[in-house]
Amino acid sequence: MIKSLKISKKLENYIAEHSYELNPVQKEIINHNEKMGSQKKMQISVTQGYFFQFFIKSFNIKKVLEIGTFTGYSSLTMALALPKNGHITCLDKNKTTSEIAKNFFTKAGIQKKIDIFLGPALDNLIKLVNDKKKFDMVFIDADKDNYKKYFDLSLKLINKKSFILIDNVLWHGDVIDRSKNDKFTNIIREFNSFVKNDNRVEKIILPLGDGITICKKV
Ligand SMILES: C[S@@+](CC[C@H](N)C(=O)[O-])C[C@H]1O[C@@H](n2cnc3c(N)ncnc32)[C@H](O)[C@@H]1O
């Protein structure tokens, strides 16, 4: 039995060739991010994007909240899978990357489906909770220090049977390396233990990209 495969760049390309077609603007964002040096790592992987699209279509998701948008790859990818009346609310504090993302959304013709709320995500999440907004799916991909707070607030923003997806939960594999005791590895470890013991959600960790947890509110 093969326990798990190491996904090489070649294998990732093979998966890409046998999954959905990338939209030209998705390709443009990938090329743009490639030129950003170490920041390019911020973007979700292409395989994760395919998974999101399949997930959104399979669970009839219409309203998405994204916490952490960067230059817009994940939000554009999700928007392309949403139905005509679907919508994404994006939260990010970086004005420059948010402007870049907005330009890409316009170029792809999906700008009406996406709003970006600029500012600290926590403030905007609290506003959304106070305004009694509800989403079918929340994608958490911003600062790791606030993951637990984002998770708790996100739970207030979804109904039962709706989803929260969280990126980077395997933290380059460091979560199992006991010699790694830096701040962020420990934050992710604590977050994963917290989610495991949280009986408000069903959950599974998938080894896609940098590791993604899928939670369903019970
Ligand atoms: C990993 S990137 C998101 C990548 C994006 N989902 C993609 O796939 O391209 C994290 C983003 O979170 C944003 N961010 C970090 N801390 C934040 C905060 N406290 N409030 C709002 N946004 C924050 C950063 O500006 C950055 O754009």
34 CA to centre of own chain: 19
Among 93, 126, 153, name the best residue to mutate to test ligand 1's pocket (greatest count of ligand atoms within 8 A of Cβ).
93
Q: For ligand 1, is residue 91 a contact (CB within 6 Å)?
A: yes
The residue nearest atom 16 of ligand 1, judged by CA position, is 143
Question: So where are the chain's domains?
Answer: 9-217
Residue at 78: amino acid letter:
M
Among 26, 28, 64, 70, name the best residue to mutate to test ligand 1's pocket (greatest count of ligand atoms within 8 A of Cβ).
70
Distance 123 CA to ligand 1 centre (A): 14
In this predicted structure, what is the pLDDT of residue 28?
98
80 dihedral zone (left: phi>0; alpha: psi -120 to 50; beta): alpha
In this predicted structure, what is the pLDDT of residue 2?
64
Q: How many residues are recorded in the chain?
A: 218
Q: For ligand 1, is residue 94 a contact (CB within 6 Å)?
A: yes
Residue at 110: amino acid letter:
I
In angstroms, the Cα distances linking 159 to 41, 58, 88, 216 are: 32, 18, 17, 10
Distance 2 CA to ligand 1 centre (A): 35
- Give the CA-trace dihedral at 137, 63, 24, 121, to 10 degrees: -70
Q: What are the pLDDT digits (tens) for 56-75?
A: 999 999 999 999 999 999 99
Distance 125 CA to ligand 1 centre (A): 14
Q: What are the pLDDT digits (tens) for 119-128?
A: 999 999 999 9
The residue with greater pLDDT, 10 or 101, is 101
Distance 3 CA to ligand 1 centre (A): 33
Domain 9-217 has CATH 3.20.20.370: no
Rounded to an integer, the average pLDDT of 44-65 is: 96
Residue 23 pLDDT exceeds 80: yes
Distance 42 CA to ligand 1 centre (A): 8
In this predicted structure, what is the pLDDT of residue 5?
78
Q: Three-state secondary structure along the chain?
A: CCCCCCCCHHHHHHHHHCCCCCCHHHHHHHHHHHCCHHHHHHCCCHHHHHHHHHHHHHCCCCEEEEECCCCCHHHHHHHHHCCCCCEEEEEECCHHHHHHHHHHHHHHCCHHHEEEEECCHHHHHHHHHHCCCCEEEEEECCCHHHHHHHHHHHHHCEEEEEEEEEECCCHHHHHHCCCCCCHHHHHHHHHHHHHHCCCCEEEEEECCCCCEEEEEEC
Summary mean pLDDT of the chain: 95
Please state the atom number of ligand 1 nearest to the C-alpha of residue 139: 6
